[in-house]
Chain A
């Protein structure tokens, strides 16, 4: 599998570490159920998923990778820092 890092270009999968699903984090004071959902409950779609990938062996960027878990096609990649949030 080849993943296109927004910095480095197309790279082999072995250079990356995968953290897991890319999720919107609930507010700190959100209800317990909402946090329970965030921490424990996941969809398992046969199709496109968004995940957080870390370019561990390369530039050290966190990347939002959208890929199809059925065909293994990598559909899009983006810097997580460009997707909003604060640093």
Chain B
């Protein structure tokens, strides 16, 4: 049988540092989307809390922390990263494995806000977008999920097929921000 080589979405592209900002790839151990069945939102949140120690996130928010995080992911859906979701949650929600579907990168450093300001038509400055806040928004014509994971750190996700475009656009913006000094 052929020995298959697994490649990460941004294989060979990252990490890259330009000025004070570093772009690196993040590979969560698992990614699963949770879409609660009608009327099961509270029961799902309680079960998620019991199984993984984090509730179902409110709109535009995330719960948990690095290693086990639940991110609001769209209308009626959250994405759990880092842990394999307990199978008993299938009683309350539709679970879908997203592990191979998304490119996950981390934009870190002083000026990361300025880089994203060039690409995302949403105010991501610290005063309005704090740690744990998340948005689904456009990033250079791609449907992105952006979460603040630290004081100067963002997690950016797009469809895996767009990984190369994402890296290209972020690198271009990083260089432009750096060039302004």
Contacts and interface: CB of A to CB of B under 8 A. Distances in A.
Asked if A and B bind, the verdict is: yes
A15 B59 contact: no
- Interface of chain A: mostly helix, strand, loop or mixed: loop
B27 to A, nearest CB: 25
B101 interface: no
A12 B122 CA distance: 8
Interface stretch (A36-44, A45-53, A54-62): A54-62
A56 B121 contact: no
A14 interface: yes
B144 to A, nearest CB: 8
B7 interface: no
B121 A15 contact: yes
B121 A14 contact: yes
A7 B60 contact: yes
B57 to A, nearest CB: 12
A16 B59 CA distance: 18
A15 B138 contact: yes
Interface in B141-167: 143
B60 A11 contact: no
Interface string B45-88: 00000000000000110000000000000110000000000000
Contacts of B121: 11-12, 14-15
A23 to B, nearest CB: 22
Contacts of B138: 12, 14-15, 57-58
Contacts of B122: 11
A19 interface: no
Contacts of A87: 38
A16 to B, nearest CB: 10
Nearest to B143: A57
Interface of B: 38, 59-60, 74-75, 121-122, 135-138, 143
27 contacts: A7-B59, A7-B60, A7-B75, A8-B59, A8-B60, A8-B135, A8-B137, A9-B60, A11-B121, A11-B122, A11-B137, A12-B121, A14-B138, A15-B121, A15-B138, A56-B143, A57-B136, A57-B137, A58-B135, A58-B136, A58-B137, A58-B138, A58-B143, A59-B136, A60-B136, A61-B74, A87-B38
